[in-house]
A and B are shown apart, each in its own frame.
Chain A
């Protein structure tokens, strides 16, 4: 099956990290662990990865990074008091797509 998405790790520096003009051209999805999902086989996506000095990851590598972050967040949530749990929702697992 052909890849639909590609993944990279890059630190979001804030303003200018993803510009409106870039977001209009391609679909971005920000994930835990500074993992970013962008379209595969796409010139604009490749240009953006270069701009942010993104470290390209396979889907499995990206999944591992996301899992570590989500598991840590779930562990933190599980340790909250019942009162504090009432104020939030347990972070859900995130499954990346090919």
Chain B
């Protein structure tokens, strides 16, 4: 077995401070911090395939994080089924109690989720849903309904502090209506500046983000919510609709996929502007998503046939000094 010195020509040095210009792969011991360090190379941002769902997911919703997600209301046909993801594989979740529907919105986590609105079977009026239900990781419970029936709306926040904005209302027009949920009831609050459906969403009830979406055409508009009103943010680089979700928070969000022609484009938001980053492996219109900006999760969507697949995002790391961590 080769030694470090045989490979690099020098021994692992003990230094009182980090070297000013270490070469990539160099290892040293920092005697001041009592830590073993090395100079790591850059690691690129990339998407990888995630687990494959049992049920097609088109224009539905997903909430949670990359290693604990929940998908609901897939749009192949109105469904009450849900699926849970553990970071590796999908398994069946609890059956929703508010009736079969598709393209509802959601907030929260896999063990404390909230799903609201949606569109019911065309043969079962009223078609536009106000139903809201909460999930505890096992079963769903009906709670107080939305004030405005809608679907293809944005959703973010938590089970006890959720935000619902935009979407399609009865008559199939787009709406700018926004509602806040406090864990018990929904209250109407400041409307979006631009009425939209299929809007991307991220953030919290007091720091929400809506992006892209569809009015007459796909658009790049971004709006930021501060707990009472919406203001304009930076435009996306690519006009898109067909978001069933986004990932992250208002100052660190990720938008991916969308339509009308299936897109693989991925952009990240820093609180003021969007920048392009690694594209999805598969272009997906009407995709759904959740997670954080550095660890987002894209589920379903379609580019031709509806997708069963998912993808996991991993933010890259710039070159730099790293500390070796040892588990005992």
The answer to whether A and B assemble together is: yes
Interface residues of A (CB under 8 A from B): 12-20, 22-24, 28-32, 66, 69-70, 72-74, 81, 83-84, 86-89, 91-92, 94
Contact for A23 among B46, B75, B102, B260, CB less than 8 A: B46
* Complex interface bits, B29-43 against A, C-beta within 8 A gives 1, otherwise 0: 000000000000001
Select the residue from A17, A19, A66 with max chain B CB neighbours within 10 A. A17
B48 on the interface (CB 8 Å rule)? yes
Number of interface residues, chain B, beta carbon within 8 A: 44
| B318: min CB distance to chain A, Å | 14
Q: Interface majority SS on B: helix, strand, loop or mixed?
A: loop
Distance between Cα atoms of A72 and B302 in the complex (Å): 13
Provide 6 A-B residue pairs closer than 8 Å at the C-beta atoms, listed in order of the A residue: A17-B49, A23-B48, A87-B59, A87-B103, A87-B119, A88-B286
Q: Are B89 and A15 in contact (CB under 8 A)?
A: yes
B9 on the interface (CB 8 Å rule)? no
Select the residue from B89, B102, B282, B306 with max chain A CB neighbours within 10 A. B282
Contact for A30 among B59, B309, B316, CB less than 8 A: B309
Contact for A20 among B46, B75, B89, B304, CB less than 8 A: B46
Distance between Cα atoms of A13 and B51 in the complex (Å): 8
B314 on the interface (CB 8 Å rule)? yes
| B220: min CB distance to chain A, Å | 18
Which 3 A-B residue pairings sit nearest by Cβ, starting from the closest? Answer: A30-B282, A23-B46, A32-B304
Within 8 A of A (CB), among B266-300: 278, 281-283, 285-286
| B186: min CB distance to chain A, Å | 23
Distance between Cα atoms of A32 and B309 in the complex (Å): 12
Residues of B within 8 A of A86 (CB): 172
If A87-B59, A89-B260 touch, whether A12 touches B49 (CB-CB below 8 Å) is yes
If A16-B49, A20-B314, A30-B309 touch, whether A73 touches B122 (CB-CB below 8 Å) is no
B88 on the interface (CB 8 Å rule)? yes
Contact for A29 among B44, B281, B302, CB less than 8 A: B281
Within 8 A of A (CB), among B211-267: 242, 259-262, 264
Closest Cβ neighbor of B48 among chain A residues: A20
Distance between Cα atoms of A22 and B48 in the complex (Å): 8
Closest Cβ neighbor of A71 among chain B residues: B304
Residues of B within 8 A of A18 (CB): 48-49, 281
Q: Are A88 and B59 in contact (CB under 8 A)?
A: yes
